[in-house]
Structure formats: C-alpha cells, structure tokens
Chain A
C-alpha cells in the first residue's frame, strides 16, 4: 500500500516540473489500475492514448497514456507494456479514452474486454475480419475487401425508444459541399433526444503511410491530415522531429512559422463565421466573411505559393524564405482588414441572427476535461486553456497571442470568441512583421533516432503528434487532432435543441472529418 501511494505521488511530482517537455513513466501491469484510478478526478486530462508495436525492441505492444494536468506545463506519458493483446479499459474513468481504445482495437487488434463500447471505429463493414492495419506484420498494400456485407456485420447504433421517438439517419453523403459522416438522430417532435455520430468514412491510413518514410517525405503526409490545418500539422510534426534531433530552428523561421500558424487561424475562423451565418439563412451577411477569407487565401498564396500554405514548413525550419515585400504587402492589407471585419460583424449583429445563435448548442463546462474538448469550443464554454499558453512553442513564450474566453458555451459565444481571436491574430502578425529578425530560415541537421511528443494549438484546438524514429525512418506516427475529441462534444451539445439547429451547431464547432478519420 505504501508503495502504491509512493507511485501515485511521485507521478504527480512529474507534472510539477517547470519544463515544457514530457516524462515517460513505465508502470508495471499490476500497478496500472490502481495508479490510473488515483489519477482520475484530480485535474488530470487524458489527452491522448495510442499504441506502438515492438517499441524500443521490446516485442509486443506498448500503450501510451498521455496526461495533461491543468496549469502544468509538463506532460506525463504513462507507458504500459502488454505481454498479451488484451488490456483493461480506462474509459469509465477517462471518457476521452472510449474512442482511443476503439481506435487501438481496430489498428492493433488489442481487446479491451471490460470497455463499455467495443464496436469497431475506423474499420467499417467492408474491411475483412481480423485485419489490423497498424500491426507491423501487415504491409501497406491494397487489400481485398468484402463484396457482400451480411446484416449481422452492420454497425449497431444505439437504440433509443419510447413513445413518439423516431430516428433520422443523415449521411454519410450530405446536402452541401462538406465532408462525409453519419449522424443518427433520435427525435421527439422537433427536439433532439439523442445524437450518435459515426465517423471515419474518410479513413485513408495516414499513420501507416508515414511508416518507413524519412521525415522530409513524411511532412507532406502531415500536411494531408487536414487540408485546412496544413500549417499546424506540418509544424507539429516538424517540431517533434526537431525535438528528437535536439536542434532549434533559426529565429527568423520561428517568427515566420508563427505568422503562418496565425494566418491559418484567421482564414479558418473566417470560414466558420461565414458558415454560421449561412446556416441561419443570411447569405448576405455571410458574404462579407467569405470575401475576407478569399483575400486571406490570396495573401497565403503570396507568402508561400500555396493558398493553403502547403509545402513551406519542413523539419529544421522553412523550405524557402518569405520576402520582405510579401510581408509588407500582408501588413498593408491587414491594416485595412480589421475595419472591414468589424463592419462584417456589425452587419450580423441583428436580432434575427442573435436569436438563432444565443442559447443554441451549449457545451457544458463539466464535459471539457472528460472529453478533452479544446480550442475555441472549450474557451467559449469558460475553460482557460490554450496550448499556445499552456505549452508554449514557436514565438509564443515571448509574445502572448491574447487569451479569449466566454462562459456561455453557446453558438453565439463561439462566434464571438472566434471574432476576437481573429483580431488578436491580426495584431500578433503585425507585431511579428515589425520585429522580424534577419538571417537564415533553416538549420541543417542530422536525423536522430528517438521519440517525442509535440502539442500545437490549431484553429480548432489542440493537435497532438507523437513521432518515433528508428534507423532514420518513421517507425510510428500518431496524430490526434482537436477534431477527434471535439466531435464527441457535439453529441452532448445538440441535446434538447431542434433538428434545424444542428447544421448551425455543427458549423460553429467546424470540425475536420479528414483530421478525425486520418
């Protein structure tokens, strides 16, 4: 017993290190359950859970539980080695683990017999039985899929019943130009009684594709995780590779990367605001945001030669420098941007719009740590979390980007938080351009073997990347975007709302399907 207490308290000591880094703690299997139970309910959030096979030559499977403690810079990663492909579930203690465990179960064939939800996650009906793509013995090549899907193999949605309860199945193909996913509504009249989402229609095998690639090749894969998060994911991946190699990038490259990250945030938020206004049937108001977003895309193209800022970030810095002329052009443009943003926001400040946004799609604050909700969705519900502050990277240790919160948690709060974040990002970019250091943009380096975690705040929330390099090649690449966790928030946010408000709530969270499905 004394030994157990010692283990838990020493684990908590790890969080208190004032280093922006992570500690790996190996727990023996017989201690695991008691230590994990002690972690629950103590401001500790399970931000990631993933598996690696033959990690450090160990043979078998290793599970990594990534814990973040609020107000602590340091991350604790609990390592759990499995001798057999079976493990106990932590999903009742840490609900965010539910999807993580189902993901591991599909990818590696590891069973969690006591889990409350053991349905497949990303391997849908067409995949052959017993196929686990992330296992090392499975090579990445085209597979034979099932030609006929028997009724017994079909995915089982939860049954909701009662007088007057009926179901509305929506998707995977939706009415608009958006990504595919399935929403199963249980409805009483117009009111949503329950929503169950089924994602992963776009599962492309990102993590497996990265295996065996060198970091230069893999950065292209990181950019493909989600097209509108290219900068975040390329940056997070590169940071992990740089951390393993023990190098720092040149100051100019730090500044330029920060500008690119903020540009991505601005255009992403503009798209969300436009979408919210479209979904309350006010296209005239939305057009202002669409105009500003298109202009940002053109600025992106001017900076990086890509409207989505692809192909510029690489491990070590940037593939190419950005000219002072482009930066001045951006700075002059941003001077005119803010007054136009204000008039766009003002145009939407009318009662018929506000009526639709207020009290709609409320995210309860209590759910935030349990489901690991991050980004504007969490900040608009009163959580003071932002990876740029909590685990500073790039130039964020020096220049605060402005911290925006609201306590309402509804669509209106998310709209306002995003508007304010755009203003702050514009200000930040202007400051960065003024202080831009001269010099090179890339540090040449030798790729080293090892593993590292990297956390970055995307427009949608925290993106977590874990890279393990062996013999100079990627052996395991784990990505957990903000969308993966935030999607589970939507099931709660829509309850008690009417079905016609679902698109609005969905747009206000603007989650990436590609970034979830991988």
Chain B
C-alpha cells in the first residue's frame, strides 16, 4: 500500500500506479522514524507547527510532508490543530516581538513531556535577522529547544532527518 497511490481522477476510479519519482532516501528515513515513533510514542507522534516569523517557505515544506509524495501519516506522524494535542512543537522564524507572547502561550498549552524542534535558519539562530530590532535571536531565546533543523528552508528529507535525530536523543536520555 505504501508504494502505491491513486493518480487517477474520480471519473476513472480504482486505478493505481507507481510513483514516477520516488525518493528512496525519504522512504528509508520514514521507516526508521516509524520504528522510533512506534516504540517511544506508542505509534503516534503529534506535531504542532508554529510560525513565529519565517518567510513561509518552511511552512510550505511542512505542508508538503503531508501531501501524497511524502505522506508522513504512513509513519505515524500527524500535524495537529491544537498545542494541547501535541508531543512536539515545530517552530519556525527567529521569533518576532509581535509573536513572542503567542509563542510562550502555545508552549505553555502543551502537555508534558513536550519537545521543541527549531526548523529553518532563523529559528536555529543563524538567520539573516540575527541581532536586529524586530526579532529575538531564534527559538531558544524564548523557549527551550531540543533539536535544530537548519536550512533556508530545510527540505522534507532534512526535516525528517532532524526528527529522527530527536528520536535518538529522546532514546539516549531514556536509557541514561
């Protein structure tokens, strides 16, 4: 099922075909992540995405993760509507002054245990807005960050790699 999806229109139902471009690296990462999600998060990892001042390309890549080419729900990952349902807060942007209160409220609304992933250069404190008037210097200046995924924007593969890294980190802490 994973390898196939429908490319037909509704007027030609029940026909499936192989993906033209299949990213083997992504599939491999996805399965590794699925293993980790299965054991650490009981098969379901809920991510709340929060934009605190990105240029919106990172958001587009996050949305892409849920579209047919990537479809991360196959690996037990869902993007949820409320921070109260989330295990992970994926934050983008350097955190503008205008978003700082909303960021804190969103973080506080999450139940523990909770993890924060900074996605994109600005959130990782290495973007072009560093030390300027309108922003804080990255997500870690406002809330604790567990994993950084740099990039302008990071590709879907990079985001998955970062999430897998977070899984390794959580495992290591559990062991120690």
Interface residue ranges, A against B (CB under 8 Å) = 122, 124, 126-127, 133, 138, 140-143, 145, 172-173, 175-180, 200-205, 208-209, 220-221, 223-228, 230, 271, 274, 284-285, 287-288, 290-291, 293-295, 297-298, 307-308, 310, 343-344, 346-347, 350, 512-515, 517
Contact = CB atoms under 8 A, between A and B. Distances in A.
9 contacts: A178-B59, A179-B54, A205-B135, A224-B128, A227-B60, A287-B6, A291-B7, A307-B155, A308-B153
Contacts of A127: 97
A220 B153 CA distance: 13
Interface in B1-30: 5-11, 20-21
A179 B60 contact: no
Contact of B132 (A205, A295, A310, A350): A205
A293 B131 CA distance: 35
Nearest to A171: B102
Nearest to A174: B81
B111 interface: no
Interface string B80-94: 011100000000011
Given A180-B52, A291-B67, A141 B102 contact: no
Contact of A204 (B53, B58, B106): B53
B64 interface: yes
Contacts of B134: 133, 203-205, 208
B60 A228 contact: yes
B41 interface: no
A227 B57 CA distance: 5
B98 interface: yes
A154 B98 CA distance: 12
A142 B64 contact: no
Contacts of B6: 284, 287
Question: Top 7 nearest A-B pairs by Cβ distance?
Answer: A227-B57, A205-B134, A175-B81, A290-B67, A347-B9, A227-B55, A124-B98
Contacts of B128: 209, 220-221, 224
B43 to A, nearest CB: 22
Given A202-B53, A291-B7, 7 more contacts: A124-B98, A143-B97, A175-B81, A202-B51, A208-B133, A287-B68, A310-B57
Contacts of A344: 9
A141 to B, nearest CB: 6
Nearest to B65: A177
Contacts of B145: none
B50 interface: yes
Contacts of B97: 124, 126-127, 143, 145, 203
A173 B102 contact: yes
Interface residues of B, number: 56
Given A126-B98, A347-B11, A209 B56 contact: no
A350 B9 CA distance: 12
Contacts of A291: 7, 67-69
Contacts of B57: 227-228, 230, 308, 310
A513 B9 contact: no
A486 B53 CA distance: 20
Contacts of B102: 172-173, 180, 201
A179 B51 contact: yes
B99 A201 contact: yes
| Chain B contact residues, majority secondary structure | loop
B80 to A, nearest CB: 9
B98 A200 contact: yes
Contacts of B99: 172, 180, 201-202
B70 to A, nearest CB: 8
Nearest to B59: A177
B66 to A, nearest CB: 8
A225 B57 CA distance: 11
A138 B98 CA distance: 19
A514 B79 CA distance: 22
Interface string B37-51: 000000000000111
Given A141-B133, A203-B134, A228-B57, A295 B21 contact: yes
A177 B119 CA distance: 13
Contacts of A297: 64
B106 A142 contact: no
B116 to A, nearest CB: 15
Contacts of B101: 126
A227 B98 contact: no
A486 B28 CA distance: 43
Given A140-B132, A140-B133, A177 B79 contact: yes
Contact of A203 (B50, B51, B98): B98
A209 B129 contact: yes
Contact of A288 (B9, B70, B93, B152): B9
Interface string B88-127: 0000011011111110011000000000000000000000
A294 B67 contact: yes
A288 B67 CA distance: 10
B133 A143 contact: yes
Contact of A284 (B10, B55, B69): B10
A224 B94 CA distance: 13
Contacts of A308: 57, 60, 153
Contacts of B59: 177-179
Most chain A CB within a 10 A radius of its CB, from B10, B52, B56: B56
Contacts of A180: 51-52, 99, 102
Most chain A C-beta atoms within 10 Å of own C-beta, residue among B83, B97, B100: B97
Contacts of B51: 178-180, 202, 513
Nearest to A223: B55
A346 B53 CA distance: 37
B23 to A, nearest CB: 9
Nearest to A233: B55
Contacts of A205: 129, 132-135
A228 B56 contact: yes
Nearest to B82: A175
Contacts of B70: 294
